[in-house]
């Protein structure tokens, strides 16, 4: 019991010492590079068309023709333009 308690105390104290050494160091010299965002452009992800004929259920059921088309577009978010500030006119 005493050995495990001593080992635990030594382990915790060594981790605390290592943590304080890393926390004390000056991290100011490590700067993140600035990244410019590329301009956003609307993109067409997929397009498609389909058509066909289906026989409905029943003895006198009609056959229907159908057709359709679709397009999935990735739209960029709208950018709010800053409002124009009116200049104040001063009387002399």
Query: Residue 50 to residues 41, 65, 68, 70, 83: CA-CA distances in angstroms?
Result: 28, 11, 5, 9, 46
When pLDDT is averaged across residues 53-73 and rounded to a whole number, the result is 91
Q: Are 71 and 47 in contact (CB under 8 A)?
A: yes
Residue with tokens 């600035």: 34
Question: What are the DSSP calls for 56-67, one per residue?
Answer: PSSTTPPEEEEE
Q: Which residue has the higher pLDDT, 1 or 64?
A: 64
pLDDT band at 41 (very low <50, low <70, confident <90, very high): confident
pLDDT at site 30: 67
pLDDT for 67 equals: 95
Q: For residues 91 and 82, what is the distance between their CA atoms, to the nearest angstrom? A: 28
Q: State the distance between the two ends of the chain, measured CA to CA, in whole angstroms.
A: 91
Domain boundaries, the chain: 41-76
Mean pLDDT of 24-37: 69
């Amino acid at each position: 019991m005493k050995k495990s308690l001593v080992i635990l105390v030594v382990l915790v104290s060594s981790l605390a010492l290592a943590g304080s050494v890393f926390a004390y160091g000056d991290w100011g010299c490590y700067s993140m590079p600035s990244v410019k965002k590329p301009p956003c452009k609307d993109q067409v992800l997929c397009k498609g068309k389909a058509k066909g004929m289906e026989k409905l259920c029943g003895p006198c059921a009609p056959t229907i023709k159908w057709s359709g088309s679709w397009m999935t577009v990735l739209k960029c978010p709208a950018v709010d333009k800053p409002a124009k500030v009116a200049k104040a006119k001063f009387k002399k």
